Amino acid sequence: MPSNYERYRRIARFYDLLDLPFEYGRYRRIRPLLFAGLSGRILDAGVGTGRNFEFYPRGSSVVGIDFSPAMLAQAHRRLDISAATVALREMDVTRLDLADGTFDGAVATFLFCVLPDDLQVVALRELARVVRAGGTIRLLEYVRPRGSIRRIMGAIWEPWIGWAYGAGFDRRTEEYIPEAGLELVEARYVDDLLKMLVARVPI
């Protein structure tokens, strides 16, 4: 089984093509929800190939991080579509080389469904550390689907998701948010397979 680092090195050039049906079938209508009401300094953790770029709030300043240089190389090609000022940095979300309270808010798109359980609290605490008190953290993640038919489809699809992206539908991110010292503000399905988690850094 390849490591996630090796997995994303391998698929980076084809990632957007693999993701195309999902991007235009469901993701694009959901991505704006991540940034609604955000402004100022924003961290995009697990920026991937830069699919969020066109949804960044105009005039904001965004730092996009990813542990995969191959994925960041693809993201660099999209920089000119953003209305925000964007800086890309190679970085692991569990060890952020960023000062405390640097950002007004943070987002992560399909990042925590890739992280194993033993790294979830570590990563959440790092996000909490670099976002100012009272700031918002929003996560968009795959979860177990609702409904028996969707659950059957999910069970068929999950091995592919695990092999291609290292992701799973069984991560316990929502449970870990309070353990990481964050306040869970909202947890809601935005699609049969996708949930948005909103957390706040305590004041």
By percentage, how much of the chain surpasses pLDDT 90? 69
In this predicted structure, what is the pLDDT of residue 2? Answer: 59
In this predicted structure, what is the pLDDT of residue 32? Answer: 96
Which of 44 and 191 is assigned the larger pLDDT? 44
**Alpha carbon 148 to its chain's center:** 27
Identify the top-confidence range among 49-63, 137-151, 161-175, 183-197. Answer: 49-63
Please give the average per-residue pLDDT across 28-39, as a whole number: 95
In this predicted structure, what is the pLDDT of residue 162? Answer: 60
Q: Domains of the chain (ranges plus CATH)?
A: 4-200 (3.40.50.150)
Q: DSSP string covering 81-120, please?
A: G-SSEEEEEE-BTTB--S-TT-EEEEEEES-TTTS-HHHH
Give the H/E segment covering residue 196.
strand 194-200
| Cβ–Cβ < 8 Å for 169, 195 | no
In this predicted structure, what is the pLDDT of residue 49? Answer: 96
Please give the average per-residue pLDDT across 3-28, as a whole number: 84
Please give the average per-residue pLDDT across 59-63, as a whole number: 98
Q: DSSP string covering 49-87, please?
A: T-TTGGGSPTT-EEEEEES-HHHHHHHHTTGGG-SSEEE
- Which token pair is 133? 């008190």
Give the Cα separation of 32 and 196 in Å (integer): 12
C-alpha distances out from residue 34 to 29, 136, 165, 169, Å: 11, 10, 21, 20
In this predicted structure, what is the pLDDT of residue 192? Answer: 82
- The angle at the Cα of 6, spanning 62 to 42, to the nearest 5 degrees, equals 10
C-alpha distances out from residue 95 to 71, 98, 124, 167, Å: 18, 9, 11, 20
Work out the pLDDT band at 1, boundaries 50, 70, 90: very low
In this predicted structure, what is the pLDDT of residue 166? Answer: 64
In this predicted structure, what is the pLDDT of residue 156? Answer: 57
Work out the pLDDT band at 41, boundaries 50, 70, 90: very high
Predicted confidence (pLDDT) per residue in 101-125, tens digit? 999 999 999 999 999 999 999 999 9
Work out the pLDDT band at 19, boundaries 50, 70, 90: confident
Question: Residue 80: pLDDT above 50?
Answer: yes
Predicted confidence (pLDDT) per residue in 123-182, tens digit? 999 999 999 999 999 999 988 776 665 665 666 556 656 656 667 778 999 999 999 999
